[in-house]
Amino acid sequence: MFWISQEDYIEKVIERFNMHNVKPMHVPLLGHFKLRKMQCPKNEKEKEEMSKVPFSSVVGSLMHAMICTRQDIAYDVGVVSIFLSNPGNEHWNTVKWILRYLRGISKRFLCFGNEDLMFLGYIDENIAGDVDSRKSTSGCLITFAGGATSW
Instruction: Please give the chain's pLDDT, 151 residues, in tens.
Output: 778 889 999 999 999 999 989 999 888 776 667 888 999 999 999 999 999 999 999 999 999 999 888 888 988 999 899 999 999 999 999 999 999 999 998 888 877 776 677 888 888 887 777 777 877 777 788 888 777 777 7
Residue 35 belongs to some domain of the structure? yes
Residue 128 belongs to some domain of the structure? no
Residue 30 belongs to some domain of the structure? yes
Residue 126 belongs to some domain of the structure? no
- With a CB cutoff of 8 Å and minimum separation 6, the contacts of 63 are 77, 81
Residue 89 belongs to some domain of the structure? yes
> How many domains does the chain fold into?
1
Residue 24 belongs to some domain of the structure? yes
Residue 143 belongs to some domain of the structure? no
Element (H or E) spanning 91, and its range?
helix 89-105
Residue 1, burial from CB neighbour count under 10 angstroms (0-12, 13-18, 19+): exposed
Residue 148 belongs to some domain of the structure? no
- With a CB cutoff of 8 Å and minimum separation 6, the contacts of 93 are none
Domain that holds residue 53: 2-109
